[in-house]
Chain A
């Protein structure tokens, strides 16, 4: 029997090896290398030179980085307010409604379109004298804002575009949550005459809370990584005013060849992403303890 176990030990290692190797070589090794580069000066030629915290100090004094950080914060707040909030409203509206599946469909179509596709559609809509301006002119609005050219308006309209894409899937997640609520307490509350806002506040909201946590967490992590839509709509411009951290990292690295600085931004973004997940999970755990 002991021999058998030994045999499986080697077999088990054989089965797990391809996965471990691929992940180690293509994800962990590069990760460590980026961490190292963030403490060095390097432009792709010669050898990286140790530079201590120089890149990080430069980063926090760089106005482009600071505006990018502000934009990313806007993205985090904006995508929490609009797609998550609206998704919940939509889920509540279609809940227990015959044909709800079909009524939700228009909101789901944008979800599977790539970020660049969404950017393509919305830059067409928002370009000067584009579809939106034409519609506003028809309603007698003469001076339309320069949607994609002025900051922070361009970030705000891009958040609207991202919301257009994201609402449906949040609605779908909330719908699944609503469907999993047991029928008995709902019936009891209805018999007691609770309806509308009261039903929502005292029954639905508490029961949806764990799911809401998941949706909010996903939304924060996804918005911290915002890249595709911005590249598709403004390329981070004009100049660099609408860049997000993910795009600033990309431009500093691959356009300006500042490998050290780019790596420092990548590390910063990673730390923020991990912190957001941890803080968030802790808050959720303590909330659960209260109930």
Chain B
């Protein structure tokens, strides 16, 4: 009993220490730029969080970045989930010849560091006019999300009895119909899990944004935040900190509500 109380007390203290950086972030993002004093970091003052966030939204055209990033983190995972499901369907339900090796080929796309593809992507994108375009960003984020999606969907479809497929064939359904009307609806939970994981990954991406974009309305949000940090300091620091909160809030909330999905993704080496 006493041991448990000790454990709990230790954890609470430990937890408070852990949250100190978050405390500092929030109270300093809440200070008005006029009253900001860089020597009083620990003492809260003012109530300007919303004002600072509004200010940040306009600074560096962060607003444009947010809109672009929302587009990327919805469209790319959506396509990747469907393409990945089609791969899983071809291998498991349609018994694609050498299906396992095609699977290894696709999954192998994630085992090397991104550094291995950056320069040719930059070079190739510049040549075909995809550099610094939303389309280019959507395509690269989609491609990067496919291996993981194919991995999960292949596993998921392996759990579905082949008799489901055969019964549908006897009813005269085409393979396309079987895929869209039977397999996809059955896989909804897996599709949602992949979607959430990949959306978070794209939201937090820095490297691809840094390499393949430069305009405010194409640049993903984390890349823009990184630029703001080096451009604005001093009195505008509270605004940059507010931008940090603005950028982080969606993924933190999403993560806390869907921890289980993340653990599954993590165990598969996604992060």
Using CB atoms and an 8 Å cutoff, list the residues of chain A in contact with chain B: 8-9, 11-16, 18-20, 22-31, 33-34, 37, 44, 90, 93-94, 97, 99, 103, 105-117, 119-125, 129-131, 134-135, 164, 167, 169, 172-173, 176, 214, 217-218, 221-222, 224-225, 227-228, 231-232, 235, 246, 249-250, 253-254, 259, 262-263, 265-267, 269-270, 273-274, 277
Indicate whether B44 reaches chain A with its CB closer than 8 angstroms: no
Q: For residues 217 through 271 of chain B, which have their beta carbon under 8 Å from a beta carbon of chain A? A: 222, 225-226, 229-230, 237, 240-241, 244, 247-248, 251-252, 254-256, 259, 262-263, 266-267, 269, 271
Main secondary structure of the interface of B (DSSP, over half): helix
Total cross-chain contacts (CB, 8 A): 263
Min distance, Cβ A28 to any Cβ of chain B, angstroms: 7
| CB pairs A–B below 8 angstroms (12 shown) | A12-B96, A13-B96, A20-B87, A22-B139, A103-B8, A108-B256, A109-B252, A114-B222, A116-B206, A120-B241, A269-B116, A274-B112
Please report the C-alpha to C-alpha distance between residue A121 and residue B269 in the assembled complex, in whole angstroms: 26
Please report the C-alpha to C-alpha distance between residue A30 and residue B118 in the assembled complex, in whole angstroms: 8
Q: Assuming A26-B143, A34-B119, A113-B252, is B237 touching A11 (CB within 8 A)? A: no
Q: Are A273 and B244 in contact (CB under 8 A)?
A: no
Closest to B96 in A: A12
B267 partner, pick from A93, A121, A214, A273, beta carbons under 8 A = A214
Min distance, Cβ A225 to any Cβ of chain B, angstroms: 5
Q: Which chain A positions have C-beta within 8 A of B14?
A: 90
Q: Are A254 and B211 in contact (CB under 8 A)?
A: yes
Closest to B18 in A: A106
Q: Which chain A positions have C-beta within 8 A of B204?
A: 114-115
Please report the C-alpha to C-alpha distance between residue A26 and residue B99 in the assembled complex, in whole angstroms: 21
Q: Are A15 and B90 in contact (CB under 8 A)?
A: yes
Q: Assuming A117-B225, A214-B267, is B116 touching A266 (CB within 8 A)? A: yes
Indicate whether B58 reaches chain A with its CB closer than 8 angstroms: no
Q: Which chain B positions have C-beta within 8 A of A111?
A: 255
Q: Which chain B positions have C-beta within 8 A of A164?
A: 18, 21
B248 partner, pick from A11, A103, A114, A246, beta carbons under 8 A = A114
Q: Are A134 and B118 in contact (CB under 8 A)?
A: no
Q: Are B21 and A121 in contact (CB under 8 A)?
A: yes
Query: Which 5 pairs between the two chains have the least Cβ-Cβ distance?
Result: A112-B255, A30-B120, A15-B90, A26-B143, A12-B94
Closest to B179 in A: A15
Q: Are B25 and A107 in contact (CB under 8 A)?
A: no
Closest to A113 in B: B248
Indicate whether B77 reaches chain A with its CB closer than 8 angstroms: no
Beyond A26-B143, A107-B18, A273-B111, 15 additional contacts (C-beta under 8 Å) are A15-B89, A15-B94, A27-B117, A94-B11, A97-B7, A106-B19, A108-B259, A113-B251, A114-B203, A167-B18, A172-B263, A173-B263, A254-B118, A269-B116, A273-B113
Min distance, Cβ A149 to any Cβ of chain B, angstroms: 16
Closest to A137 in B: B39
Please report the C-alpha to C-alpha distance between residue A105 and residue B222 in the assembled complex, in whole angstroms: 24
Q: Are A269 and B89 in contact (CB under 8 A)?
A: no
Please report the C-alpha to C-alpha distance between residue A215 and residue B10 in the assembled complex, in whole angstroms: 25
Q: Assuming A15-B89, A120-B241, A129-B38, is B105 touching A173 (CB within 8 A)? A: no
Cβ proximity bits B15-54 to A, threshold 8 Å, 1 near / 0 not: 1101101101100100000000011111000000000000
Q: Are B41 and A134 in contact (CB under 8 A)?
A: yes
Indicate whether B121 reaches chain A with its CB closer than 8 angstroms: yes
Q: Are B207 and A227 in contact (CB under 8 A)?
A: yes
Closest to A175 in B: B263
Q: Are B106 and A19 in contact (CB under 8 A)?
A: yes
Q: Are B117 and A115 in contact (CB under 8 A)?
A: no
Q: Are A106 and B15 in contact (CB under 8 A)?
A: yes
Q: Are A250 and B225 in contact (CB under 8 A)?
A: no
Min distance, Cβ B1 to any Cβ of chain A, angstroms: 12
A37 partner, pick from B11, B119, B139, B230, beta carbons under 8 A = B119
Q: Which chain B positions have C-beta within 8 A of A176?
A: 263
Q: Are A116 and B267 in contact (CB under 8 A)?
A: no
Q: Which chain B positions have C-beta within 8 A of A167?
A: 18
Please report the C-alpha to C-alpha distance between residue A20 and residue B108 in the assembled complex, in whole angstroms: 11
Please report the C-alpha to C-alpha distance between residue A97 and residue B18 in the assembled complex, in whole angstroms: 19
Q: Which chain A positions have C-beta within 8 A of B113?
A: 224-225, 246, 266, 269-270, 273
Please report the C-alpha to C-alpha distance between residue A116 and residue B42 in the assembled complex, in whole angstroms: 22
Indicate whether B122 reaches chain A with its CB closer than 8 angstroms: yes
Please report the C-alpha to C-alpha distance between residue A168 and residue B120 in the assembled complex, in whole angstroms: 36
A31 partner, pick from B91, B117, B207, B225, beta carbons under 8 A = B117
Q: Are B115 and A103 in contact (CB under 8 A)?
A: no
Q: Are A23 and B147 in contact (CB under 8 A)?
A: yes
A27 partner, pick from B40, B87, B109, B247, beta carbons under 8 A = B109
Q: Are B229 and A120 in contact (CB under 8 A)?
A: yes
Q: Assuming A16-B96, A129-B38, A173-B266, is B7 touching A22 (CB within 8 A)? A: no
A121 partner, pick from B12, B24, B39, B262, beta carbons under 8 A = B24
Q: Which chain A positions have C-beta within 8 A of B22?
A: 109-110, 121
Closest to A225 in B: B113
